[in-house]
Amino acid sequence: MKPGVYTRPAKPMRITVKSRPGFANVEIAQAPEIVTVDSATECHVTPPDVAARMVRYLGDVGDYLTLEPSAGTGNLSRALIESGHSRYELVQVERHTKLAGQLHRFGTVINRCFLEYAFEVRGKVQFPRVIMNPPFREVRKHIAAARDLMGAHGHSEAPTLVALVPITFQTDDMETLEHLPDDTFATAKVLTKIVRIRCDPYPEKFGRKRWALETSPIARSGLSAVDLGGPSSDQIAA
């Protein structure tokens, strides 16, 4: 259409724009850091519902110094905190640097190999409670090392260890609490169960040996018995 048909063809065409200085700030969501775990680690993360049941098997909430030897992605640690456990009573050991960096919100973090840590602190610390999902290939070494660190720590009841282990793991003083579904760790292709081991809180008083399970390979022959370079020592759990 030609401008000449309008009464004022040369009139500028304008529209009124209202000033809006008070726009709300847009919050930019922080994307969680993605931790890449090498396939060689055979990472087998504890499902949250399984972790919650393992925490209940430990016993009532209290001022119990608790050890998580293979903290991994933190599912067991998270379940402990959600149950009411104090983050100041939780010690988490995790070798994987990036995974360890995300565990501080749950409690104390020790970024190193658990077998090496256990060798160095044996006889210097006591944990009345241990909750763990150890590397499947090295389950006996890890459980034996964890038991070497257990003690009453001022409590009257027996120190308690709850672990998620392959179904083939057996020891005389072990209590099998439940067998997990076959697809709990589908990628690992390992059948698993939850077990509980209670230890004598004061074995030295009566001259009894503390553990029925074989002596820790670390205590028996030092670090020479531990293969820190093999793929199994890098396995990550939670």
pLDDT tens readout for residues 48-64: 999 999 999 998 888 88
Alpha-carbon distance of 15 to 23, in angstroms, equals 21
Fold of 41-162+198-234: Rossmann fold (3.40.50)
User: What are the sequence ranges of the domains in the chain?
Assistant: 41-162+198-234
Alpha-carbon distance of 215 to 221, in angstroms, equals 10
Contact criterion met (CB below 8 Å) for 218 and 118: yes
β-bridge pairing 129-132 and 66-68: parallel
Binned at pLDDT 50, 70 and 90, residue 172 comes out as confident
SS3 19: coil
Binned at pLDDT 50, 70 and 90, residue 16 comes out as confident
Please determine, for residue 10, whether its predicted confidence score (pLDDT) is greater than 50. Answer: yes
Contact criterion met (CB below 8 Å) for 125 and 148: no
SS3 131: strand
Contact criterion met (CB below 8 Å) for 34 and 97: no
By C-alpha distance, which of 91, 181, 172, 103 is closest to 132? 91
- So what's the pLDDT on residue 157? 81
- So what's the pLDDT on residue 52? 95
Alpha-carbon distance of 149 to 85, in angstroms, equals 20
